[in-house]
A = this chain, B = another copy of it.
């Protein structure tokens, strides 16, 4: 039920009258609008007196530049767009910190949109960003349709901070090295004496697929078998995980993220499975949750902040002529804690 938006035109504006423009400022200061433009932007070549008068006039009027007008004439918006797969996902939001800090150095403002985990929404948000003429676009999602990637890459420097299957060459990609991250974690399980390995995930993303590959390589390298458990997000509660655990004889498990790992911990406790004695557990992302569990949770840390910073650099490079695509994998870091037992000592 949409509301009627074209209510009788002018009556009731809510906020005050017309917003002051550069012209209002100019009149009040008794100068031309060009001079106001220069003064307000801090251009050199404006006499101190004028500058002063203009500043006061602007302040009195509560003048604020209209970025639409500016963007239109300059051909650049000064905006960096970030589209997140899911604003509630900590892995994605941490990338924003890196993006923000680097963008600030370039004098750009960062605006964020939430894809709410849906490809349609993602597509829509990307379109909005492109219409806004962002000077660069950061995509933190593995679920962007290829057509949308191409469209974005064609319009503005675009970098995906996530693992993509066969990304178009117009889009740069930055990810952490999921294969080696998962492999290293798996090797840690193995060197803790685990022989019945498992990977449990609540996602079917390319990221997760890469981690499966990492688990496989490490397991096969040690001549061990491994099992993969895929739980749909809605069916990934403590009970479901407990069931999975009971069915399999797994004694060492890597999880797709820390929340899943905490769920495994809870399920194990409920099922009388001791951690790490009966089951070693490793999470992914190294969130602060890891320090709040009992036992504390081992986890694979990803350098989200550095990846976010790199994304902005890549955008800058594209804007300045680079044509070849960036394809970078950042090395993750395994953080061992009690949930895998004492490092180096088997069970």
Contact = CB atoms under 8 A, between A and B. Distances in A.
A120 to B, nearest CB: 12
A87 B106 contact: no
A62 interface: yes
Contacts of A72: 66, 68-69, 72
A321 interface: yes
Contact of A116 (B12, B97, B130): B97
Given A72-B68, A88-B93, A237 B291 contact: yes
B14 A318 contact: yes
Contact of A3 (B5, B106, B127): B106
Given A77-B68, A133-B68, A15 B157 contact: yes
Interface stretch (A50-58, A262-270, A339-347): A262-270
A132 B110 CA distance: 12
Interface in A75-114: 77, 87-88, 90, 93-94, 96-97, 100, 105-107, 109-114
A304 to B, nearest CB: 11
B64 A15 contact: no
A236 to B, nearest CB: 10
Contact of A321 (B12, B114, B157, B323): B12
A15 B263 CA distance: 45
A47 interface: no
Interface string A6-41: 010001111110010000000000000000000000
A238 interface: yes
Contact of A133 (B67, B109, B320): B67
A12 B320 contact: yes
Nearest to A293: B266
Contacts of A131: 64-67
A13 B203 CA distance: 38
B14 A319 contact: yes
